[in-house]
Amino acid sequence: MKVFKSLVLFLVLPLVRGSMVQLKNGGYEDIVIAINPGLPEDSSIITNIQAMVKEASTYLFNATKQRFFFKAVKIIIPLTWQPKPEYLSLKTESYDKADVIVADPFLKHGDDPYTLQYGRCGEKGQYIHFTPNFLLNDRLLKIYGSRGTKVFVHEWAHLRWGVFDEYNNDAPFYVSDNSGNTIVEATRCSANITGKYVVQNCAGDNCIRNCSYDNQTKLYEAGCTFVPDVIQNTPASIMYMQSLASVSTVISF
Protein backbone atom coordinates (compact mmCIF):
# COMPACT_ATOMS: atom_id res chain seq x y z
CA MET A 1 0.00 0.00 0.00
CA LYS A 2 1.29 3.45 -0.86
CA VAL A 3 1.25 5.39 2.40
CA PHE A 4 1.93 8.85 1.06
CA LYS A 5 -0.02 10.50 -1.72
CA SER A 6 0.87 14.12 -2.39
CA LEU A 7 2.66 17.32 -1.46
CA VAL A 8 1.34 20.60 -2.85
CA LEU A 9 3.33 23.85 -2.76
CA PHE A 10 1.77 27.30 -2.41
CA LEU A 11 3.34 30.72 -2.85
CA VAL A 12 1.60 33.19 -0.54
CA LEU A 13 1.76 35.94 2.02
CA PRO A 14 0.69 34.94 5.54
CA LEU A 15 -2.83 35.95 6.36
CA VAL A 16 -7.01 32.92 13.00
CA ARG A 17 -5.61 29.53 13.66
CA GLY A 18 -7.94 26.64 12.82
CA SER A 19 -6.69 23.37 11.43
CA MET A 20 -8.28 22.01 8.26
CA VAL A 21 -6.86 18.49 8.70
CA GLN A 22 -9.24 15.69 7.74
CA LEU A 23 -8.92 11.96 8.32
CA LYS A 24 -10.25 9.86 5.45
CA ASN A 25 -9.81 6.10 5.35
CA GLY A 26 -6.80 6.32 7.64
CA GLY A 27 -5.11 9.08 5.62
CA TYR A 28 -4.54 12.56 7.01
CA GLU A 29 -5.34 15.20 4.38
CA ASP A 30 -5.01 18.98 4.15
CA ILE A 31 -2.08 19.22 6.55
CA VAL A 32 -0.55 22.68 6.19
CA ILE A 33 3.15 23.34 6.80
CA ALA A 34 4.00 27.05 6.56
CA ILE A 35 7.41 28.68 6.23
CA ASN A 36 7.67 31.99 8.07
CA PRO A 37 7.75 34.89 5.56
CA GLY A 38 10.73 36.41 7.37
CA LEU A 39 13.05 33.50 6.59
CA PRO A 40 15.61 33.87 3.79
CA GLU A 41 15.03 31.65 0.78
CA ASP A 42 16.54 28.18 0.99
CA SER A 43 15.15 25.43 -1.23
CA SER A 44 16.71 22.80 1.05
CA ILE A 45 14.06 23.64 3.65
CA ILE A 46 11.36 22.54 1.20
CA THR A 47 13.31 19.45 0.15
CA ASN A 48 13.86 18.37 3.75
CA ILE A 49 10.22 18.99 4.69
CA GLN A 50 9.14 16.73 1.83
CA ALA A 51 11.60 14.01 2.85
CA MET A 52 10.56 14.29 6.50
CA VAL A 53 6.85 13.91 5.81
CA LYS A 54 7.27 11.00 3.39
CA GLU A 55 9.46 9.16 5.89
CA ALA A 56 7.07 9.97 8.74
CA SER A 57 4.09 8.62 6.80
CA THR A 58 5.60 5.17 6.42
CA TYR A 59 6.72 5.13 10.05
CA LEU A 60 3.30 6.25 11.33
CA PHE A 61 1.59 3.60 9.21
CA ASN A 62 3.74 0.84 10.71
CA ALA A 63 3.80 2.18 14.28
CA THR A 64 0.00 2.45 14.42
CA LYS A 65 -0.42 -1.08 13.03
CA GLN A 66 -1.47 0.21 9.59
CA ARG A 67 -4.17 2.53 10.93
CA PHE A 68 -2.90 5.97 9.89
CA PHE A 69 -0.65 7.66 7.33
CA PHE A 70 -0.11 11.12 5.83
CA LYS A 71 -2.01 11.38 2.56
CA ALA A 72 -1.80 15.03 1.47
CA VAL A 73 0.36 17.89 2.77
CA LYS A 74 0.51 21.50 1.60
CA ILE A 75 3.58 23.72 2.07
CA ILE A 76 3.12 27.49 2.20
CA ILE A 77 6.07 29.30 0.60
CA PRO A 78 6.82 32.98 1.47
CA LEU A 79 5.92 35.47 -1.25
CA THR A 80 9.44 36.90 -1.00
CA TRP A 81 10.88 33.64 -2.39
CA GLN A 82 11.35 33.20 -6.10
CA PRO A 83 8.20 31.84 -7.81
CA LYS A 84 8.32 28.47 -9.56
CA PRO A 85 5.92 26.78 -12.02
CA GLU A 86 4.97 24.09 -9.48
CA TYR A 87 3.78 26.68 -6.94
CA LEU A 88 0.00 27.12 -6.79
CA SER A 89 -2.26 29.89 -5.48
CA LEU A 90 -3.78 29.67 -2.04
CA LYS A 91 -7.42 28.89 -1.40
CA THR A 92 -8.19 29.12 2.33
CA GLU A 93 -4.77 28.13 3.71
CA SER A 94 -2.70 30.64 5.67
CA TYR A 95 0.35 30.85 7.91
CA ASP A 96 -1.84 31.62 10.94
CA LYS A 97 -3.87 28.46 10.38
CA ALA A 98 -0.92 26.17 9.71
CA ASP A 99 -0.55 22.88 11.57
CA VAL A 100 3.24 23.13 11.36
CA ILE A 101 5.32 26.30 11.19
CA VAL A 102 8.96 26.71 10.24
CA ALA A 103 10.31 29.79 11.99
CA ASP A 104 13.27 31.16 13.92
CA PRO A 105 13.65 29.72 17.43
CA PHE A 106 12.22 31.13 20.62
CA LEU A 107 14.81 31.59 23.37
CA LYS A 108 13.05 29.06 25.62
CA HIS A 109 13.27 26.22 23.09
CA GLY A 110 16.27 26.90 20.88
CA ASP A 111 16.28 24.35 18.05
CA ASP A 112 14.15 21.88 20.04
CA PRO A 113 11.07 20.84 18.05
CA TYR A 114 7.94 21.37 20.12
CA THR A 115 4.15 21.43 19.95
CA LEU A 116 2.20 24.26 21.57
CA GLN A 117 -0.35 22.61 23.87
CA TYR A 118 -2.75 24.51 26.13
CA GLY A 119 -5.30 21.77 26.77
CA ARG A 120 -5.54 18.66 28.86
CA CYS A 121 -4.61 15.14 27.82
CA GLY A 122 -6.63 14.17 24.76
CA GLU A 123 -7.15 17.75 23.57
CA LYS A 124 -5.46 18.73 20.32
CA GLY A 125 -2.47 21.06 20.28
CA GLN A 126 -2.17 24.39 18.47
CA TYR A 127 0.76 23.85 16.12
CA ILE A 128 4.16 22.20 15.72
CA HIS A 129 7.24 24.43 15.54
CA PHE A 130 10.43 23.52 13.68
CA THR A 131 13.41 25.83 13.23
CA PRO A 132 15.27 26.15 9.91
CA ASN A 133 18.41 24.89 11.62
CA PHE A 134 16.61 21.75 12.80
CA LEU A 135 15.58 21.03 9.21
CA LEU A 136 18.95 21.84 7.67
CA ASN A 137 21.61 20.79 10.19
CA ASP A 138 22.18 17.03 9.94
CA ARG A 139 24.40 17.09 13.02
CA LEU A 140 21.23 17.51 15.09
CA LEU A 141 20.07 14.05 14.00
CA LYS A 142 22.34 12.56 16.67
CA ILE A 143 20.45 14.54 19.32
CA TYR A 144 16.85 14.26 18.15
CA GLY A 145 16.83 11.20 15.92
CA SER A 146 15.43 11.00 12.41
CA ARG A 147 13.29 14.01 11.45
CA GLY A 148 10.58 11.85 9.91
CA THR A 149 10.54 8.49 11.66
CA LYS A 150 11.03 9.91 15.14
CA VAL A 151 10.57 13.66 15.56
CA PHE A 152 7.64 14.48 13.26
CA VAL A 153 5.56 11.51 14.45
CA HIS A 154 6.38 12.35 18.10
CA GLU A 155 5.17 15.93 17.61
CA TRP A 156 2.15 14.81 15.56
CA ALA A 157 1.00 12.70 18.52
CA HIS A 158 1.12 15.87 20.65
CA LEU A 159 -0.73 17.92 18.05
CA ARG A 160 -3.42 15.53 16.85
CA TRP A 161 -4.05 13.24 19.81
CA GLY A 162 -3.20 15.57 22.69
CA VAL A 163 -0.80 13.17 24.40
CA PHE A 164 2.11 14.33 26.53
CA ASP A 165 5.75 13.36 26.86
CA GLU A 166 6.46 10.25 28.90
CA TYR A 167 9.21 11.97 30.82
CA ASN A 168 9.07 14.80 33.34
CA ASN A 169 11.78 17.43 33.62
CA ASP A 170 10.12 18.83 36.76
CA ALA A 171 10.02 15.39 38.44
CA PRO A 172 12.68 13.32 36.67
CA PHE A 173 12.77 10.62 39.39
CA TYR A 174 10.36 8.73 41.61
CA VAL A 175 10.54 6.11 44.34
CA SER A 176 9.47 2.67 43.14
CA ASP A 177 8.41 -0.08 45.52
CA ASN A 178 8.61 -3.10 43.26
CA SER A 179 8.48 -6.58 44.78
CA GLY A 180 9.34 -5.14 48.16
CA ASN A 181 12.52 -3.43 46.94
CA THR A 182 12.42 0.36 47.25
CA ILE A 183 14.58 2.00 44.58
CA VAL A 184 14.84 5.33 42.80
CA GLU A 185 13.76 5.20 39.15
CA ALA A 186 13.94 7.69 36.30
CA THR A 187 10.59 8.78 34.89
CA ARG A 188 10.48 6.91 31.58
CA CYS A 189 8.51 4.49 29.43
CA SER A 190 9.18 1.69 29.64
CA ALA A 191 10.81 1.20 33.04
CA ASN A 192 12.95 -1.51 31.41
CA ILE A 193 14.99 1.09 29.52
CA THR A 194 18.53 0.89 30.87
CA GLY A 195 20.94 3.74 31.47
CA LYS A 196 23.19 5.55 33.91
CA TYR A 197 22.43 8.10 36.62
CA VAL A 198 25.10 10.77 36.34
CA VAL A 199 25.78 14.37 37.32
CA GLN A 200 28.08 16.84 35.61
CA ASN A 201 30.50 18.20 38.18
CA CYS A 202 34.01 18.83 36.96
CA ALA A 203 36.84 17.82 39.28
CA GLY A 204 40.12 17.88 37.42
CA ASP A 205 39.79 16.07 34.11
CA ASN A 206 36.64 14.20 35.16
CA CYS A 207 33.37 16.08 34.61
CA ILE A 208 30.90 13.21 34.99
CA ARG A 209 30.32 11.08 38.08
CA ASN A 210 27.61 8.79 39.40
CA CYS A 211 24.73 10.43 41.26
CA SER A 212 24.60 10.38 45.05
CA TYR A 213 21.52 9.41 47.04
CA ASP A 214 19.85 12.23 49.01
CA ASN A 215 18.62 10.93 52.38
CA GLN A 216 16.28 13.90 52.84
CA THR A 217 14.40 13.72 49.54
CA LYS A 218 14.84 9.93 49.22
CA LEU A 219 15.81 10.64 45.61
CA TYR A 220 19.05 11.38 43.80
CA GLU A 221 20.87 14.65 44.38
CA ALA A 222 19.97 17.85 42.52
CA GLY A 223 21.46 17.95 39.03
CA CYS A 224 21.30 14.19 38.56
CA THR A 225 20.38 13.07 35.04
CA PHE A 226 19.34 9.72 33.63
CA VAL A 227 21.26 8.96 30.43
CA PRO A 228 19.78 6.00 28.49
CA ASP A 229 22.15 3.47 26.98
CA VAL A 230 22.51 3.79 23.21
CA ILE A 231 21.69 0.09 22.70
CA GLN A 232 18.43 -1.09 24.26
CA ASN A 233 16.87 -4.55 24.41
CA THR A 234 13.33 -3.41 25.15
CA PRO A 235 10.79 -1.53 23.00
CA ALA A 236 10.28 2.12 23.90
CA SER A 237 7.43 4.56 23.38
CA ILE A 238 8.04 7.39 20.94
CA MET A 239 6.60 9.75 23.55
CA TYR A 240 9.53 9.04 25.87
CA MET A 241 12.75 9.67 23.94
CA GLN A 242 12.26 9.38 20.21
CA SER A 243 15.99 9.34 19.45
CA LEU A 244 16.34 5.83 20.92
CA ALA A 245 16.77 3.16 18.26
CA SER A 246 14.37 0.83 20.09
CA VAL A 247 11.42 3.21 19.77
CA SER A 248 8.72 1.25 17.97
CA THR A 249 5.26 2.35 19.06
CA VAL A 250 3.39 5.64 19.05
CA ILE A 251 0.36 5.07 21.23
CA SER A 252 -1.92 2.18 22.12
CA PHE A 253 -5.33 2.08 20.43
What whole-number distance in Å separates Cα of residue 156 and Cα of residue 162?
9
Q: Which residues are annotated as catalytic?
A: 155
Sign (positive or negative) of CA dihedral 26, 152, 33, 51:
negative
What whole-number distance in Å separates Cα of residue 71 and Cα of residue 51?
14
Residues 6+ away with beta carbon under 8 Å from 36:
14, 78, 95, 101, 102, 103, 104
Please name the amino acid found at residue 121: C
Other C-beta atoms lying within 10 Å of the C-beta of residue 26: 15
Residues 6+ away with beta carbon under 8 Å from 178:
none
* Residue 102 near residue 45, CB atoms below 8 Å: yes
Other C-beta atoms lying within 10 Å of the C-beta of residue 249: 15
Residue 176: cis peptide before it, omega within 30 degrees of 0:
no
**DSSP 3-state assignment of 178?**
strand
Give helix then strand counts, H and E, for the chain.
4, 18
